Amino acid sequence: MMSIKDEIFDLLLFVVMLSLASGNNMIRCFDTERQALLSFKEELVDEHGRLSSWGTGVNKRECCKWKGVHCHNQTNHVTRLSLSGPLPLYSYAPLQGKISPSLLQLKHLNYLDLSHNDLGYSSIPDFIGSLNQLHYLNLSNSNFGGTVPQSIGNLSNLLCLDLSRNDLHSENLDWVSRLQSLEYLGLSWVAVDHKKTNWLQEISKLSSIQEIHWRDANLEDVPPSSLPSFNASTPLSIIDFSDNSFQSFSTFRWFLINFNNSLTFIDFSMNNITGPIFPAFQNLRSLAYLDLSLNILQGGIPKFFGNMTSLLHLNMQDNTLTAQLANLYGPLEKKLQHLDLSFNMMSGSLIDFSRFSSLTRLALGHNKFNGIIEKGYLNIPHLVVLDLSSNNFTGALSDLTLSPCLKELYLKHNMFNGPLKESIGNLSKLEFLFLGSNQLEDNILEAAFFNLSRLKVLELSSNSRLTLNCSPKWIPTFHLIAASLSGCNIGPRFPEWLRYQAKLVFLDISSNQIIEIFPKWFADTASQLGHLNVSNNQIHGVFPDGSFSTSFNNQEALALLPEIWLGSVLDVSRNRIMGPVLFLCNTSIFYLLDLSDNLFSEQLPECSANFVSSSELVNLANNNFSGKIPRSLCSESSIWLDLRNNSFSGSIPSFMRSCTSLMMLDLGNNRLTGEIPNWLQGSDFGNLLLLSLRANELHGAIPSSMCSLKNIQVLDLSSNNISGAIPKCLHFLKAMTQKPTPFTLQYSDGSMAHPSINNAFLVESRLLDGAYLMWKGHEVQYLNGFSLVKLLDLSNNYLVGEIPSEITQLIGLIGLNLSGNNLTVSIPQQIGNMNSYLDFLDLSRNSLSGGIPSGIWKLGVGILNLSYNNFSGRIPADSHFDDSSYIGNSLLCGRPILDKSCPGDYEPRLDSWIQTSAMHRMMRIH
């Protein structure tokens, strides 16, 4: 603390400097404050030189000119420190270290901004509460941790406090209620103990508060009996309580009723609020912004919404709202600018939105709207974004010439038919065009794109009657970031105009009947891509060397592609590409690598570790790869690994035990040897759903550790040299003991994937549905419904002993194949406990004996194969299987299924039959 003598000395020093200096050479900075700032700097790590202007040199003595330092124009005391970390697009240059108590020497400091830095999870220092002149304190997003110091409540002059986006908590909020001058409160991510404090009670005491931002803090509803009284004069206008744990309108209603004259901004999105929209909204005459998205709101849109004359922004996407769009008609039409009702359950036809003359964004995607769009309904002069995707609209595309401001147009996943409207080519401001997955019919020439010079994303995929027929000499006026043109009849040649797209990062030209080799220019185009899909064509030759030579880090492009970007992808599957894969040596990090169904050969190069080890989804199936499985194919991030139908050799490598995130592992149809490793166990592979080791040369016993794979749905060890007994612990395969249910992805930490939010889920579930399985003796691909498949296949090995009765507890199985082994004894009597889900049961080609349990006839299996065993006894006459199910069992009997009667069955004697026949002939003669 400075003494009176120190202050007098500073003042005298300032007078002396003023008398000696002239013009621009005057030093305004007080020495004590300069020293305090330098001490503050010493405690920080400034890797990016943001404080390089701070120093002791002759040219740096004027601290009032230091970056981030502001002095009072008259007193020259330091009053402001603005050291917020600079955040240009996707770059970060934080200060690190800790806050020095030397700040206490800045007695006139009224503004302190240290936001967007990295304070190393340190605590907010308690001495902050002694900076009693502060009007503004911003410590947001600076990696503070621990408890909010109670001393902040001493800052009685504080007008703005922002502690948001740190890892902070507060045991009580007594300190908040003491900030009676506070106008802005930012506590997002600051958690409170609900058992120790009534958070609403404390903030209701802030008589001057205007804005409250408290996102993502796990706040819960306050019981009605604990709702506080309120100060009618409080000017509260902005509340943001999004991403919390509110479940009803009870707490929300308190704000609506008590501040209905002042509220202008409400954000209660990403909660769990259920029920219809509360009527109190109709009294909010000043409300301009309302966001209730990502809740569980039900019913329709109330009529009073049409009378909310101040409302500019309305977002209720991702709820369970139904129809009643017409209730928006009214005074609201003239002012509403932003309307988002996407991801709901609304149906019916589209209303006349041309009446909403101020609308700039209209989002109705992912609903159940249907029918044609009447002429003129979308003539909205100021509309910038139109999203009608994923509905059931039919008919021709609307004429959009009277919406000349359109920049983003999303009409994909509907049933629009007919030609592509020429009016779209006149939308000169258009940047995003999504028309995929419709029934459009047209032969599109380059003239259609003549005026679209600003186009960044072109998505026309899955319009099977659409043909993109552009001249090889065409040089587009646009510079695309993304081109999604799957199934647009581009072939048989590569589209030449792509070579002029220097900004392209996303390219999908799959399923286009392209039959030529990669052109020479394609190597340059591919080198800039983060997503390339040329699958399902007839491309031949070798993949161009040098492709994907730089790491993809175009973050600006990624931010523009939320509709189609699922991660970095290289998919050249289902072509006729041949040769080695040396191009992997110069690759970036990709999320999905799919080289399957080609003619690639030789060993994978060691340099592939630069790329493949960071890929989560790898499919190399149906090629001619050989050699040992390289370490680069598997890492902790691997989710999907398919090496099926190649010539990989050697044992299953031990490094695979680190692939603990795997959901699918298919090593089938290779030349692997050795034993099944005992580290394949549930404690490490808890996410594993499919494991196929079929058709290799593995030997030894089935390790009991595999019984702990509790989530495994498909286990295929068939066609190896596996010996020993079937483990009795198989009933611990928990997923196989439960009836088939629709698949929901659950990660190892217990969190659930939300398909409408997490696009990666869509990739993973699509690949699972594309899994290849041995089913009823044939290799088949499950194109959908993998979640319902539960299969155990141990066939064609050298297993001995009995079929353990425990296996009958796997009541979720739809397929069980134990054929082609040396199993003995009889079928367990409990086999009848396996319920009606079992569709395929094959026990053929063993040495099983005894009678067939009666329960087996009650299973209702579609295919039953018990052939070539030693079964005995009777086949029921009403069995719906023919004799092929039982052939090779000489002791089985039972007509009419088998041509063999059982002992005791009545059969007419031959001599009696002859005698009877002779008598009938004699009677006819006479």
Rounded distance between C-alpha atoms, residue 365 and residue 387, angstroms: 6
pLDDT of residue 22: 42
Rounded average pLDDT over 396-415: 92
Q: Which two tokens stand for residue 168?
A: 């902070």
Rounded average pLDDT over 816-834: 94
Across 55-69, 544-558, 653-667, 715-729, the highest mean pLDDT is recorded for: 715-729
Higher confidence at residue 383 or residue 636? 383
The domain segmentation of the chain, as residue ranges, is 674-926
Give percent of the chain above pLDDT 90: 58
Give percent of the chain above pLDDT 70: 85
Higher confidence at residue 750 or residue 698? 698
Q: Which residues pair with 78 in a beta bridge?
A: 71
DSSP string, 661-688: T-SEEE--SSEEESBPPTT--TTT-TT-
Taking the alpha carbons at both ends of the chain, their separation in whole angstroms is 144
Structure confidence by residue, pLDDT tens digits, 603-636: 887 765 455 556 788 899 999 999 999 887 887 8
Answer for the pair 477, 450: CB distance below 8 angstroms, yes or no: yes
Structure confidence by residue, pLDDT tens digits, 247-259: 988 888 888 888 8
In the chain, the amino acid numbered 246 is F
Q: For tokens 């029934």, what's the residue?
A: 439
Rounded distance between C-alpha atoms, residue 555 and residue 786, angstroms: 34
pLDDT band at 83 (very low <50, low <70, confident <90, very high): very high
pLDDT of residue 208: 93
pLDDT of residue 217: 92
Rounded average pLDDT over 261-283: 90
**Quick one: CATH architecture of 674-926?**
Alpha-Beta Horseshoe (3.80)
| Residue 766 scores a pLDDT above 80 | no
Q: Which two tokens stand for residue 631?
A: 């370490």
| Residue 16 scores a pLDDT above 70 | no
Q: For 86-100, 286-300, 602-616, 888-902, which range has the lowest pLDDT when averaged over its residues?
A: 602-616
Across 360-374, 563-577, 613-627, 834-848, the highest mean pLDDT is recorded for: 360-374
| Residue 123 scores a pLDDT above 70 | yes
pLDDT of residue 543: 87
Answer for the pair 644, 668: CB distance below 8 angstroms, yes or no: yes
pTM: predicted TM-score of the whole model, two decimal places: 0.81
Structure confidence by residue, pLDDT tens digits, 494-510: 999 999 999 898 899 99
Rounded average pLDDT over 684-706: 95
| Residue 765 scores a pLDDT above 60 | no
Arithmetic mean of pLDDT over the chain:
86
pLDDT of residue 551: 46
| Residue 848 scores a pLDDT above 70 | yes
Rounded distance between C-alpha atoms, residue 37 and residue 61, angstroms: 12
Q: For 56-60, 66-70, 80-84, 344-348, which range has the lowest pLDDT when averaged over its residues?
A: 56-60
Answer for the pair 717, 794: CB distance below 8 angstroms, yes or no: yes
pLDDT band at 179 (very low <50, low <70, confident <90, very high): very high
Higher confidence at residue 771 or residue 919? 771
